[in-house]
Chains A and B, each alone.
Chain A
Amino acid sequence: MDDKQKDKIAPEFIFADWIKTSMAFWESMVSMWPTADPADDKSPDSKKDGKPSRLQKSLESTQKTWTAWSRIISEPETMETIFKGTGEVPEILLKIAQTFTNSFVRFQQQWLEKAGKFQKSTKSYTFENLDEDAVKVWIQLYETELRKIFNIPQLGLTRFYQEKMIQSVDKFNRFQSNLTEFLRLLSLPMEKSFQILQEKLTELAEKGDLPEDSKAYYQMWIKILEGHYMTLFQSFEYTKILNKTLHSMSEFSEAKKELLQDTLLYMLPVPTQKEMDELYKEIYLLKKRIKELEKRP
């Protein structure tokens, strides 16, 4: 096989030939488009006064673009560049794969670090008081680590709705955490009162002073319980957790309302509470104004 023949079966020549053939095919296809009689076509696209239709124009335009691109691509210099690049494909693919692998490893490392932080947080609690420490650890983990997930920015057309949904889940979690802590605090006087009652009963038994009336035991316990609640309620810790719970309950309530109002109710033909509030305020101000005017002499 001589060099000329070799050149002709080289891939760039085969590709150039294929492009030329396909160009010829599409040129002939477009030229075959019927120059229909305007009277036959009653569509809005119909050719009036022998002018080409919108569809034909569009086809012609596409065909022209294709011809131009094909001409450029089938030039020997361009073909050579393309086929030279083909040889580099494995290298490029490898690079892409490496980037992905690195990102994945980095992501895994980040999560491992976070998991390490979980461990770090839990280490500071000895779990001697299992219920108290478990609640505190959970709140700390949620606030410092898990909550970040709910703050990842949302994207796309439904971004707004996703954000409302995620925010309400986050607020619910925070409310639940605070409520658990609040309820734990409320249960403490119960626990302590039973402990003290037992100690007291042991003391009375040793002295031989145990009451015979069962009601006396109840009275003893309820007095201890009342005393413990009073001490708890006056503590700074209780007020702090009470306010935190109320605050998070309000935040959750607000987020839930926004979710319902701005995403679901918004699509229904009913007024939202926000809209009603605006109306109520207007009515309130109008009524107040009327009453003032009526009172004027």
Chain B
Amino acid sequence: MAQPKISVDLILSKLAEDAEKAGESVQKASDVLMENLDTEIAVTPYDIVYEEDRVKLKHYKPTGDIQLKRPLLVVYALINRETMLDLQPGRSVVQNFLQEGIDFYMIDWGYPARKDRYLTIDDHVNGYMDNIIDFILDKHHVDKIHLMGICMGGTFCVIYSALHPEKIKNLVTTVTPTNFDTNQGLLHIWMKDMDVDRIVDTYGNIPGDIMNLGFLLLNPARLMIDKYVGFIENMSNKTFVENFVRMEKWIFDSPDVPGETFRQFVRDCYQKNLLIQSKMEVGGKRVDLKKITMPLLNYYGKYDHLVPPEACELLTSRIGSKDAEDICLDTGHIGIYVSSKCQREFAPRIVRWLKERDEDKKKRETKKAGPKKRAAKRAPKAAASALKTKTNP
């Protein structure tokens, strides 16, 4: 007898098997969902050491020995919240930094209210950031700090480092857009024709929910369907559910963005691409990237759909510093901070890089040969495949 083209019996038996599994899964899922779930985010203890208007400065102090002479300041974006860096136990950049002995601070931009609609990029960079950095410099009796920026926060850090290079020892940018003239990411395509004046004049601040809807529309098949199909499939797994809910909490915790900051960011960056050309003006001063003379470590994700590699990789060639390095990870926008693969490498590598550049230039030159060899020995082989590095010549 000839083989049937459609093996109906196999398909049906598989279907019956799946239905049985689904039934068991739903049973377990109801138990899991009604259990006491631990879905807290940002649980690592910190102190609020500085406050100005809505902005707070979080201080995370390592329990062990401090490895760097200078503290590190982490600047998050105005979109979503810095809690992403401490999303879940075992996958927390904050905890990794602490384990590595980093004394670090993180800016919590808070929730802008209607009264904050007039705040510009200048107010954020030359106002809040500068005041915070002065506060840290005074507190630690140092002349410079290490600065690390995330996404839009990275763009702020680039602007700050160009305007106040005397206060920054080393700069780390992660998924930071600086070149906006690209068609790689949909955001870059959509923003080009956006009537930003009309939107800002209407709403004052840009509502977080509208921004989130925009981000979901970047890939509705994955973000609005497949993600939840995945959740249904794994509902019986308590750890999965807890981590999923943590991520949902973070994603939809979206503060509004101050209107005037959004206006300038879209107009000067997305539409005119002024920053990478060193033509952008902040607080009446031109942001000259050549003034970034401190070492720069530039991280970005190969599959980042929000800030694609093209938007990040030009920076190292446009700054004044010769010590500039690009690291492209095989991951997306958020994966850099939360994927287990990147977790193993991301924070330790930043710490190593900072340690090598923590001391003053003269002292470092005397030890030049030593630390380099040690650093090379410590580089894990497994992670090397996930990294593609490029050093500025």
Contact = CB atoms under 8 A, between A and B. Distances in A.
Contacts of B203: 250, 253
A284 interface: yes
Contacts of B221: 189, 222, 225-226, 229
A52 to B, nearest CB: 65
A210 interface: yes
A263 B220 CA distance: 40
Nearest to A240: B193
Contacts of B199: 246, 250
B5 A205 contact: yes
Interface in A206-223: 206-208, 210, 212-215, 218, 222
A277 B204 CA distance: 9
Contacts of A233: 186, 189, 217-218
A239 interface: yes
Contacts of A250: 195, 198-199, 201-203
Interface in B18-38: 18
B14 interface: yes
B277 interface: no
B218 A205 contact: no
B167 interface: no
B55 to A, nearest CB: 13
Contacts of B369: none
Interface string A245-270: 01100110110010000000000000
Contact of B15 (A214, A222, A229, A281): A214
Contact of B18 (A214, A246, A280): A214
Interface in B171-225: 183, 186, 189-190, 193-195, 198-199, 201-204, 217-222, 225
Contact of A212 (B11, B117, B198): B11
Contacts of A210: 6-7, 11
Contact of A280 (B118, B202, B218, B229): B118
Contact of B202 (A186, A253, A285): A253
A288 B123 contact: yes
Interface of A: 186, 189, 205-208, 210, 212-215, 218, 222, 225-226, 229-230, 233-234, 239-240, 242-243, 246-247, 250-251, 253-254, 257, 273, 276-277, 280-281, 283-285, 288, 291
Given A226-B219, A246-B199, 16 more contacts: A208-B7, A210-B11, A214-B18, A215-B18, A222-B225, A225-B225, A234-B189, A239-B190, A243-B194, A250-B199, A250-B201, A250-B202, A280-B115, A280-B117, A283-B115, A288-B123
